[in-house]
Amino acid sequence: MKLLKACLCESMRLYPPVVWDSKHAVVDDLLPDNTPVRAGDRVTYFPYGMGRMEGLWGEDWFEFRPERWFVDNEEKSCELKRVCPYKYPIFQAGPRVCLGKEMAFVQMTYVVASILRRFEIRPVSQKRPVYVPLLTAHMAGGLNVVVKRRCQNKTETS
């Protein structure tokens, strides 16, 4: 299940469910690089772009590599890294971090494992889908797939 969680994290790094978000400053403040933010200013961040920054993820940022989520960058370590939520803001960070984050992972794990256990899923087209960064994740023209029931073991129950 840790590999599945790493795959979910890597998928959301490259294709975040919410691709950009904004916050409004209540009081004057300074960003870590000393950029002033005035009360009332809107600060927007772009998780889609952040997931593709070489400075955050390395030269292989464009590759789907679930092993990057394991300590020592190896699946066999079986220990997942704790990644700074400001580097990976999929569930927000700081005082606004999503309280349902762990429940979301439980639900995603259950749904993905349940579906993949019972079905094979293959894309209809061999063309790479075009990701459209709207407010929420979207593929241009959708992502059509063929769903085929896996062979069931006689001892397995539905």
Question: For the chain, which domains are there?
Answer: 2-149 (1.10.630.10)
pLDDT tens-digit profile, the chain (158 residues):
899 999 999 999 999 999 899 999 999 999 888 999 999 999 999 999 999 999 999 999 999 999 999 998 666 668 899 999 999 999 998 888 999 999 999 999 999 999 999 999 999 999 988 888 788 888 899 999 999 999 876 555 55
pTM for the full model? 0.84
**For 25, how many CA atoms within 13 A lie in the half-sphere containing its CB?**
14
Please check if 98 is assigned to a binding site: yes
DSSP conformation class of 120: E
In this structure, the number of other CB atoms found within 10 A of the CB of residue 86 comes to 13
Length of the chain: 158
